[in-house]
A and B are shown apart, each in its own frame.
Chain A
Amino acid sequence: MQALLSFDQAPPLAAPLRFFLTAPLFAILAALLLLWSGPDLFASRWTGAALALTHLITVGFMLQVMLGAMLQILPVVAGANIARPQLLATLVNAAVATGALLLASGFLSYQPLLFELAAVLIGGGVALFIVGAGHALYGVPSTNATIRGLKLSLLGLTVTICLGVLLAVAIDGSLALPLMQLTSIHLGWGFVGWSVVLLAAVAFVVVPMFQMTPAYPEWFAGRFSWTLLTLLVLWSVADSAGWQCLSPWLAAAAVLAIAAFAALTLQLQSRSKRARFDATQHYWRLAMLSTLAACALWLAASSWPSLGERSEWPLLCGVLALFGGFMSVMIGMLYKIVPFLVWSHLQNLGRGRVFPPNMNKVIAGHQLNRQMQAHFVALALLLAAVLWPEWFTYPAGLALLAANAWLLRNLLAAITFYRQQRLTIEETLTHVSAAPAEAR
C-alpha cells in the first residue's frame, strides 16, 4: 500500500540511461578483443579470450541492460519504488562495470587478484541492487507471472554469481574443487536460471502487449519458470553427484522446455494483429529463431557423438544464445524503452502546456533499421567465424564493432534529442508565463 501511493515516482532519466549507455561500450570492447586476439579465440570455449568475450557480453552488456530495465520496470509492474534510485544506479553501475573489466582482464592474464577484485565488485554491486530492489519488492504480492518471473530471475542471477565468485576464488587451484563441473553448473544457471527466466518473464508481458498477439496460455506462463528452475536444481544435483545416467536427461528436458517457449513465441508472433513489423519485432523474431537453433544444435550434439566431439558446437550454441538470442531481445527492447522514457520525461517537463514530438522522433527510424541490419550481419559473420576462423574472425570483429558503435550512436542521439527538446520546452514555458504580464 505504501509503495502504491507513490507509484508515479519513476526514477530520474539518468538512472536507467547510465546502464543502457554502458552496455554497448562492453560490446565494443568485445569486438576489439576479437580483432586483437584473432582466429585463436575460437580454438575452443576454454581459451582465455573466449571466456573474456563471454563475460564482456554477459556481465558487461546483458547484466547492465537488465539492471537498468529493472530499475525502470519495477515501479510499473509491481508498484514498487526504489529508494534513492540515482545513488543506487550510480553505485551499482560503477561497481558492475569495473568488475566486468577486471573479470575480462582476469581471463586474459590469469592473475588471481584480478578475479578476486572482480568477484567483490560484481558480487557487491548486484547484492546492493538486490537489497535496494528487494526492499522495494518486499510485501508486493507475486500476483502475476511477470513479478514472479522477475523474482525468480534475480534468484537465478544470485546463484550464477555465487558460483562465478566461487570459481574465481578457486581458479588458482587453492580450493581443490571440481572446476569443470562447477563451471558447467555456473553456465547452466547463467544461461537458463538467469537469462532464459528473465527473457520469458519479459516475453509473457511484452509480446502480447506490444505486438498485439494472443496471450501465452495460462498453464504455460504460470509454470514455465518454475519448471525450468526445478529441472535446473535437479540437474545441478545430479551433475555434481556424478549420476551420469540422469543428468543428460534432465538437461535435455530443460532444453526442450526452452525450445517450446521459443516456438510458442514465434507462433504467437505470427498471429500478431499489428500491420507493421518494426525493428523491435524483427529483433524478437531473430532472437526466438536463434534460441530455437541453439536448442536444436544442443540436442543434436548430445545425441550424435560424432558431432558432440567437435569443438565447434558449444561455441556455435554460445554465439546463437548470446548474440542471436539475449542481445537481440535486449537491443530491441532498448529501442522501445529509451524513446518512450525520453518522451515521457519531456511530457512531464511540459506540464501539459507544451507537448514534445512523439516517441518515433527520438531516434530516426532508418538509423534503427540500419543498426539492426549491422547486428544481423555481425551475427552471421560470428557464426561463420566459429566454423572458419581464419576467414571470418576479422570481418566478424569489424561487424560487431560497427553494430555496437551504431547502437551507442543511436542511444546518444536520444539523449541529444532530450537536451534540445528540454531547452525548447523551458523557453516556451517562460514565454507562456511571461506573456500575460507583458500584456498588462
Chain B
Amino acid sequence: MHEISELMTKDHRSCDDFLAVVEKAVTDQNWQLAQAEFPRFRDALLNHFEAEESILFPLFEKRTGMYQGPTQVMRGEHVQMRQLLAAAEAALAEREADDYNGNAETLLIMMQQHNVKEENILYPMCDQQLADQLDALLPELQKQLAG
C-alpha cells in the first residue's frame, strides 16, 4: 500500500547521495571530479521533478480535483530549486568554492524541507488515492526517474 511513497522516497535519498559526492570533491578541491559528478546529481533531481510534474501530480489532481492545493505549492518549490541548482552549477564552472557551498547548502535545506512535506503528506495521499492505478503508474514513474 506504500509503493509510491517507497519509490519516490528512495529516489530522494539517492539525489542526496549524489549531492554529497560533489560536496566531497569540492572540499578536496578536486574540481575535475566535482564537475564530472555534478551532472549525475543535476539529472537525478531534474528527472525527479519531471516525474512528479508530468506524471504523478496530474493524476493526483485529476483524481482529487485539488488543482490549487499541495501540488501547486510543490511545483512552486521546484522552480526555486531549479534556480538554486543553476546557481550552484554556475559557481562550480567558475570554481568558486564559497559560492558553490552556499548555493548547495541552501538547495540542500530547500530539498529536505520539500521532501518532508512530500514524504509525510503528499505521497501517502497519492498511495491512497491512486492505489488502483499502480500497475500502469509505477513503471512509468520508474522509467522517468531513470531518465
Q: Tell me whether B43 is interfacial, beta carbon within 8 Å.
A: no
Partner of A360, one of B23, B101, B121, B124: B101
Minimum CB distance partner of B100 in chain A: A358
Minimum CB distance partner of A147 in chain B: B120
Minimum CB distance partner of A356 in chain B: B106
CB atoms of B116 and A275 under 8 A apart: no
Mask: chain B, 93-120; 1 = CB below 8 Å from A; 0 = not: 0000011011101101110110011001
Interface size class for chain B? 35 or more
- Give chain B's interface secondary structure class: helix
Q: Given A5-B70, A8-B73, A209-B112 in contact, is the A359-B117 Cβ separation under 8 Å?
A: no
Q: How far is the CA of A327 from the CA of B23 in the complex (A)?
A: 29
CB atoms of A210 and B112 under 8 A apart: yes
Please give, as numbers and ranges, the residues of chain A lying within 8 Å of B26 by CB-CB distance.
275
Partner of A275, one of B23, B80, B106: B23
Partner of B106, one of A79, A143, A340: A340
Q: Tell me whether B87 is interfacial, beta carbon within 8 Å.
A: yes
CB atoms of B99 and A358 under 8 A apart: yes
In the complex, how many angstroms separate the beta carbon of B105 from the nearest chain A beta carbon?
Answer: 6
Q: Given A275-B23, A275-B28, A276-B23 in contact, is the A78-B105 Cβ separation under 8 Å?
A: no
Partner of B102, one of A78, A210, A358: A358
Mask: chain A, 53-95; 1 = CB below 8 Å from B; 0 = not: 0000000000000000000000011110000000000000000
In the complex, how many angstroms separate the beta carbon of B103 from the nearest chain A beta carbon?
Answer: 5
CB atoms of A7 and B66 under 8 A apart: no
Interface size class for chain A? 20 to 34
Please give, as numbers and ranges, the residues of chain A lying within 8 Å of B110 by CB-CB distance.
344
Q: Tell me whether B76 is interfacial, beta carbon within 8 Å.
A: yes
Please give, as numbers and ranges, the residues of chain B lying within 8 Å of A79 by CB-CB distance.
117, 120-121
Partner of B83, one of A76, A209, A355, A360: A355
Q: Tell me whether A419 is interfacial, beta carbon within 8 Å.
A: no
Partner of B101, one of A147, A205, A276: A276
* Complex interface residues of chain B between 54 and 99 (CB less than 8 A to chain A): 66, 69-70, 73, 76, 79-80, 83-84, 87, 98-99
Q: Tell me whether A135 is interfacial, beta carbon within 8 Å.
A: no
Q: Tell me whether A406 is interfacial, beta carbon within 8 Å.
A: no
Q: How far is the CA of A336 from the CA of B73 in the complex (A)?
A: 22
Minimum CB distance partner of A5 in chain B: B69
CB atoms of B121 and A4 under 8 A apart: yes
Q: How far is the CA of A144 from the CA of B2 in the complex (A)?
A: 14
Q: How far is the CA of A358 from the CA of B110 in the complex (A)?
A: 11
* Complex interface residues of chain A between 359 and 386 (CB less than 8 A to chain B): 359-361
CB atoms of B120 and A77 under 8 A apart: yes
Mask: chain B, 113-141; 1 = CB below 8 Å from A; 0 = not: 10011001100110000000000000000
Q: Tell me whether B20 is interfacial, beta carbon within 8 Å.
A: yes
Residues of A whose CB lies within 8 Å of any CB of B are 4-5, 7-8, 76-79, 143-144, 147, 205, 209-210, 212, 273-276, 336, 340, 343-344, 347, 352, 355, 357-361
